[in-house]
Amino acid sequence: MTEESTEIARGLRRRDPDLLDRLIEQYQHRLLRYLVYLTGRRELAEDLFQETWIRVLERGHQFNDKYTFSTWLFAVARNLAIDHMRRRQPASLDGLLNGGETSFDVPATGQASAFDTTLQHEQNEHISAGMQHLPAEYREALVLRFQEGMSLEEIASVANVPLGTVKSRIYRGLSALEPWLKGASL
């Protein structure tokens, strides 16, 4: 892991385009998924996806190979998302949720056929709907924990909050999501 991080750090300092191509391929789904959940809008998430990689190119020399690349990448994406929201309206990450025009289009376009099983389909829809009603901080914590499989320490590093806050966000987020599992329309 450290060796890989060192190699990535060296490549980023050189601004090696081949390395960046490889990283974009490698992290494409994970980064987009994170941004979709964070922003709640696929279109915005796609814009931020591109901006994130450009920022990675420009600020690559700041990557510290003591950490995993994904942690740094998600932190960069998160900062860009917050910057974007601040430009639009001076608000915290909550603004991502309470923006009024927010529509939580989580299911990927062109990927709908993946929902073959009706039960699975329904459950996913319920969970997606539940996620829509969660504060952005909770969504972020849940995605990083259960979809990205990050450790609590890594999530704390990405979100720049204490470990206790991460634990409470995951716990509260998952608890808030529980009623949605059964299809409740809160």
DSSP 116: -
Judged by CB under 8 A, the stretch of 3-11, 21-29, 71-79, 89-97 that binds other proteins is: 21-29
Residue reference for tokens 């939580």? 104
What residues contact residue 52 under an 8 Å CB cut-off, 6+ apart? 31, 35, 73, 76, 77, 80
C-alpha distances out from residue 150 to 11, 51, 68, 92, 117, Å: 24, 23, 10, 23, 28
Task: Choose one: 3-11, 76-84, 90-98, 110-118; the region binding other proteins (CB under 8 A).
Answer: 110-118
List 33, 91, 132, 165, residue binding other proteins (CB under 8 A): 33
Alpha helices, H only, 60-162: 69-88, 118-132, 136-142, 152-159
111 is an interface residue for other proteins by CB under 8 A: yes
Q: Is 85 or 177 the residue whose CB approaches other proteins more closely?
A: 177
Q: List residues binding other proteins (CB under 8 A).
A: 15, 17, 20-21, 24-25, 28-29, 31-33, 36, 46, 49-50, 53-54, 57-58, 106-111, 114, 120, 123-124, 126-128, 142-143, 146-147, 151-152, 163, 167, 170-171, 174-175, 177-178, 181
